[in-house]
């Protein structure tokens, strides 16, 4: 019988890189579908492409367990999906809302706050960006067409330009002042949480990205996991490289 040392076994499964350094573990939040947790595979593919190890987070609502789980990962990815119930930011629901599972929302809020407390990098994508804003005290436009009738189209994968703040972390990641992004949302940030700084907007004034360098938080309204652009992979390199900004 051949006995394999633990480190050698882990290297087979690429937990360690060629220099025997452990790869970054990125916790990815999931949707709740009955008795299953679900996630689009492109999130994990992008994390792997950036040299990290994707780990699907259990969507528990027990705070003590969340803290233990967050302690075991290096970064957190808050994924996109359906709408956030406006009750979480003190408003009544309109007919335009298709809210997430309540327990998923509670779980993600706990992951966000625990991640910030433990100084983990956090990337929020689309609905994940919106939820970070809510977690930190901001609120949302429940429906862009109803609240901002003069806004450009933001749904169904339409592409539009964003303007990037010169002094932002996003400008460093993209090395650009403008970019074209995909768009799949009908909600947007209304009041930005006081800890956050706008790093990109559209021509209609809708916030497309924010950041908080002190708390290691980035939020983007588009879906970089769906993009083949090298620029958009930078978000995942940021998550998997603890020394990158």
- Kindly report, residue by residue over 19-44, the tens digit of the pLDDT: 667 789 999 999 999 899 999 999 99
Does any domain span residue 1?
no
pLDDT grade, residue 5 (50/70/90)?
low
Does any domain span residue 228?
yes
Beta-carbon contacts of 157 under 8 Å, excluding residues fewer than 6 positions away, are: 182, 183, 184
Does any domain span residue 105?
yes
pLDDT grade, residue 115 (50/70/90)?
very high
Residues 242 and 50: beta-carbon distance below 8 Å: no
Residues 196 and 217: beta-carbon distance below 8 Å: yes
Q: Please say whether the dihedral angle defined by the alpha carbons of residues 79, 108, 92 and 35, taken in this order, is positive or negative.
A: positive
| Percent of the chain with pLDDT strictly greater than 90 | 72
Residues 76 and 43: beta-carbon distance below 8 Å: no
- Tell me, what's the pLDDT at 101? 86
Task: Assign residue 235 the CATH number of its domain.
Answer: 3.40.50.880
Helix axes 127-135, 102-117, angle to 10 degrees: 70
Angle, CA of 81, 83 and 85, to the nearest 5°: 135
- Tell me, what's the pLDDT at 150? 82
Does any domain span residue 32?
yes
User: pTM value?
Assistant: 0.90
- Tell me, what's the pLDDT at 223? 96
DSSP assignment, residue 33?
E
Does any domain span residue 152?
yes
- Tell me, what's the pLDDT at 7? 54
Does any domain span residue 170?
yes
Counting the structural domains of the chain, the total is 1
Range of the domain at 71: 6-240
Q: What is the pLDDT of residues 41-59, one digit of tens each?
A: 999 999 999 999 999 999 9
- Residue 100 CA, chain-centre distance (Å), reads 16
Does any domain span residue 98?
yes
Taking the alpha carbons at both ends of the chain, their separation in whole angstroms is: 47
Does any domain span residue 181?
yes
Nearest to 151 by CA among 197, 186, 178, 200: 186
- Tell me, what's the pLDDT at 13? 52
Beta-carbon contacts of 169 under 8 Å, excluding residues fewer than 6 positions away, are: 199, 211, 213, 218, 245
- Residue 170 CA, chain-centre distance (Å), reads 14
**Residue 6: how many CA atoms within 13 Å on its side-chain side?**
1
CA distance 170 to 81: 23
How many angstroms separate the most distant Cα atoms in the chain? 71
Residues 81 and 127: beta-carbon distance below 8 Å: yes
CA distance 202 to 31: 28
Distances in whole angstroms, Cα of residue 229 to Cα of each of 79, 152, 223, 232, 244: 19, 23, 11, 6, 19
Tokens, residue 200 = 């990109």
């Amino acid at each position: 019988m051949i006995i394999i040392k633990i480190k050698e076994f882990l290297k087979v499964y690429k937990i360690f890189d060629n220099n025997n350094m452990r790869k970054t573990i990125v916790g990815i939040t999931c949707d709740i579908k009955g008795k299953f947790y679900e996630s689009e595979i492109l999130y994990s593919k992008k994390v792997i492409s950036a040299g990290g190890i994707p780990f699907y987070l259990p969507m528990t609502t027990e705070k003590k367990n969340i803290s233990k789980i967050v302690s075991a990962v290096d970064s957190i990815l808050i994924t996109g999906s359906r709408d956030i119930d406006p009750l979480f930011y003190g408003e009544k629901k309109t007919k335009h809302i298709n809210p997430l599972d309540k327990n998923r929302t509670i779980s993600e809020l706990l992951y966000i706050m625990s991640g910030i407390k433990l100084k983990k990098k956090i990337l929020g994508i689309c609905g994940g960006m919106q939820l970070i804003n809510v977690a930190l005290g901001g609120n949302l436009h429940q429906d862009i067409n109803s609240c901002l009738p003069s806004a450009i189209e933001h749904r169904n994968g339409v592409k539009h330009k964003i303007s990037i703040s010169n002094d932002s972390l996003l400008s460093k990641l993209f090395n650009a002042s403008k970019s074209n992004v995909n768009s799949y949302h009908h909600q947007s940030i209304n009041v930005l949480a006081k800890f956050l700084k706008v790093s990109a907007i559209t021509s209609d004034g809708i916030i497309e990205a924010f950041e908080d360098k002190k708390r290691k938080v980035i939020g983007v309204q588009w879906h970089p996991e769906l993009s083949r652009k090298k620029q958009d992979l930078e978000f995942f390199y940021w998550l998997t490289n603890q020394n990158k900004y």
